[in-house]
Structure 1
């Protein structure tokens, strides 16, 4: 092989990269737990009677008793803050490391000055030394606007709490002892934000408690929200550049047959990283701090390790949680081998073999009856490539699709292209249109799967159509027309947890399997889990397992939120999303 040819074959450098990623995760895990333990011991040193008795006013250089209380509040805040920083340390964030070092220094000083017991001091000191020795491992970048957002949120929350408490002190003077000056009332409101009593005395104990609770609540909220915005991972607005799109199309032209989800990498809301040789790529989208890829890596199988390494390095650089939604068994093995990730069977993809499909036979009775019933109702279909559809008709169909959806919310991520009937971008896509009495009533769009396959992308229909069996007619006519299109296989919908539903229905299924299947059927009221499985099963497909790949079990709830949001089925509340984008 010529020396100028770049490859992604396993090399000592690649092995060293895998070892470095493994070592970094181990170090981050140890430091994370050390931070949690140090923070917990610090808090216990303040609340446990045996440990709290050493914290006396005299130890604070002869300052008044209020100074002791302030010092206790500072130590407690640092302990809680250290436990909060543990999450950022686990993601190897540089800013979390910096704040943790400052917190450890202040805690060590406070423990020494306050003459605390030795356990919290030693643990915090060990954590500080560990942080300094492993500083090169914490390189993840924060959100580019996180610092300004954190300052703005903290100021807004503190100012809001200060104004609320001040207003209460001025509108109810009868509940105060004497006539406090304006300065004393302002000082009382300011000190309430950190839970410290001020110069104002109260006639009613409940009013004292109310102002203290309100002020401290705003203060804690400022600390929590400020920490969140300061440490949150960057969530860039994804946009696939024309250059990246062209490179993806080149990979699909050479290796697109390998994965039925490959074409969905061309979604415009995805980003992409390429292997050093450019022969493979991973497309992903960042949602809620999770870099969510879908399907297998694109391109040459031998170059997959290089693309996976680049993707994981990008995740580490920005502190993202890496996850892959819907990869094949072969892809899951490579992710596990090269990235040290774990895999969980997510469901099955229904793939129909065109050569063996037929509406004849007892197993196809339900589909055959549905198709016949719809045909008798006067429905007709047409199957065409997008490049063969006139532009005027495409415009009219796009307007119909938009009106049928009734909402701009896009459903689908791993098996959806996020655009419909774009003849310029997807000329090889196939649409199946159903008409009745001269009006369009339903439409399917399929995207290319290599040169001889199709993957279902879009399935919409006129909500006013009462006829059952329209989708069966569209799919059956598409399969009948596949030979003329040069198509040998068609990928239909993805059935989540199909094997679990199937096991729960078998004779002799155990109580756990039956309970899990029952829970999935209940969830189908909102997410069509059981419905999609049974619909796909009508066409006698080959079931191809698909997997969820993740780094750690503790990340699964966050990954689930990201996946639901990306697929358009929920996730973070819309109000929170608007706040984050505005910030």
Structure 2
């Protein structure tokens, strides 16, 4: 009896396990059904367009002519072809699980089936369309995303539409290659030949395809509805930054109020990002508790995808690579960050002679260092603005953004500011962003009459101050394109980046910037950009540069107001801020 009971229990377990597997298999099938229907819609569209540009069966056409006027047959022919084109467009919405795309596809399939019968008694084609509609109808629940009017197509779908339309035109001209084309063909109705309908449909579809492609390629899906965060979200993000858990210094750039913010369900984490074109670009990693990072990364990627965009994660560190790999993203190194170990830093030794010289000279000329705690800079804001204005005039001309700070009293009041005074007047400053066990330098500016080596003097004292306050690292910022390998087996992205780093001094002092930071003997840590494998990372990096510089004019330096070399005691800090 015991054995029989055990056997029965085993049978029940197997049955239960089989039912669970079957349930999960159906759930998985239901989950991917939008993608399956999208591909089927593409196939139906191709069938309709192919049918529209090839001659119909003559016997069936004679039968339909006997009962319908030519104008109705012509309109049905035109309607079937337009329906095929619409199915190509709707397939993108089906792929993205749009409710409106499901409803529109149902209507178009039923209309297309009617057109197929009316244009030439093509009952096989009509039956295929009706079967597809019948299978699609009960799967409405799988399309759970809100629809958006005039949603742009992704580049891959644009290529699909253009390829199908181009193939349709080629097939039509091939099918009617023996027809003598005249102007009358554009205006005559279907009587002896179907080439007239093909010409009209082909012209309309070619025009529509170009319009759709052009609009899709220049659109920025979600940009209008995901602009800079409002005051309430900025306050929420500030509370997270001040709490300090899981905060990296780049998180403070959210306080520039030029980015949108996405919060975790708990409200303890956020991601700061901007939308440019089809790319949704984060500034750094999620800010907040580490256990919420992966879920927030997925939420951001899914949000971008729901608008037809792609998620790009810029300036992420090694600690995020496991999560990004879990998401299946392509990752490329974009440079290195210079982190000075405050406990190991020293001015002793022959290699630090230049730093000792800078300190001694600044002190001889009456320079003093002061660290203004968060909020204390408001009293000196007029002096800080004067330094910033003259620096901008002599260097880059306009403020940056996105990945760099800008002179904003509200922003600068949030974090400590290191200043150098001479005769009681501020001649140089840098704001420092705290995060975990480090401080990161953001805005760094000085006047032309500051003592030579004033920024070296400022950073040396900032390193010492950070050590006294318990910070392990002082982050001097990124050296773009540093550390990329120009090897035969390296990715093209890395090889081109290495070439620009080594030979692009005339355009931007990449190597000089790294050399200037190297004199502080920092530890170099790689930083990365990550995006789906279908996204050109070089173009994503270009978008970051355009966001940071405020567009092409700023990136190319056309708005810079360059001063004479004698007016600037040090070039390196000017370049450093642009990193």
Normalization by structure 2: what TM-score?
Answer: 0.64
- 1:355 shift after superposition: 1.9
Corresponding residue of 2:564: none
Aligned match of 2:381: 394
Which residue in 1 is equivalent to 2:430?
444
2:476 is matched with which residue?
Answer: 492
Change in Cα spacing, 1:568 to 1:110, as seen in structure 2 (3 Å) is farther
Q: Among residues 239, 248, 252, which one is paired with 1:259 in the alignment? A: 248
Match of 2:284 in 1: 295
Alignment of 1:454-533 (within 5 A): 454-461=439-446, 471-500=455-484, 503-504=485-486, 517-519=498-500, 521=502, 529-533=510-514
Distance (whole Å) between structure 2 residues aligned to residue 472 and residue 490 of structure 1: 13
Tell me, yes or no, if the aligned pair for 2:73 and 2:118 is still in contact at 8 Å. Answer: no
Q: Could you say which residue in structure 1 is the equivalent of 2:17?
A: none
* C-alpha separation in 2, matches of 1:467 and 1:446: 21
Secondary structure of the residue that 1:297 maps to in structure 2?
A: coil
Q: Is the 8 A contact 2:439 2:466 kept in 1?
A: no
Cα distance in 2 between the residues matched to 1:461 and 1:38: 66
Distance 1:487 1:403, change over 3 A: same
Displacement after TM superposition at 1:353 (Å): 1.1
Partners of 2:239 and 2:491 lie apart in 1 by 50
1:388-446, Cα deviation, whole Å (9 max, x unpaired):
75645313423552564468965342x434553437850x32234476x9976654222
Unaligned runs of 5+ residues in structure 2 are 1-24, 153-182, 190-200, 556-579
Structure 1 position 283 matched with structure 2 position 272: yes
* 8 Å Cα contact 1:350-1:544 kept in structure 2: yes
Does structure 1 residue 139 correspond to structure 2 residue 127? Answer: no
| Alignment RMSD | 5.3
| CA offset digits 1:81-102 (Å, max 9, x no partner) | 4434444444434444444444
Matches of 1:29 and 1:139 in 2, distance apart? 13
Q: How many residues align?
A: 486
Query: Is 1:550 the equivalent of 2:550?
Result: no
Structure 1: 5+ residue stretches without partners: 1-18, 150-191, 200-211, 575-583
Counterpart of 1:327? 316
Aligned to 1:202: none
Whether 1:537 and 2:518 are equivalent positions in the alignment is: yes
Cα gap change, 1:461 to 1:79, in 2 (>3 Å) = farther
Pairwise mapping of residues 214-363 of structure 1 onto structure 2 (< 5 A)? 232-233=221-222, 235-256=224-245, 259-308=248-297, 310-312=299-301, 314-315=303-304, 318-337=307-326, 339=327, 341-361=329-349, 363=351
Which structure has the greater CA radius of gyration? 2
Q: 1:416-431 counterparts in 2 under 5 A?
A: 416-418=404-406, 420-422=408-410, 425-426=413-414, 428-431=415-418
Q: Distance in 1 between matches of 2:28 and 2:523?
A: 37
Taking the TM superposition and a 5 Å limit, the aligned residue runs for 1:195-210 are 197=187
Give the SS at the match of 2:313: strand
What is the DSSP-based 3-state SS (H/G/I as helix, E as strand, rest coil) of the residue aligned with 1:284? strand
The alpha-carbon deviation at position 221 of structure 1 amounts to 6.4
Find the aligned partners of 2:26 and 2:296 in 1 and give their Cα distance: 16
- Which residue is equivalent to 2:571? none
Q: After superposition, give the CA deviation of every residue in 1:149-193 in whole Å (9 maximum; x if it has no partner).
A: 9xxxxxxxxxxxxxxxxxxxxxxxxxxxxxxxxxxxxxxxxxx9x
Contact 1:381 1:477 in 2 (8 A): no
Distance 2:504 2:72 in 1: 55
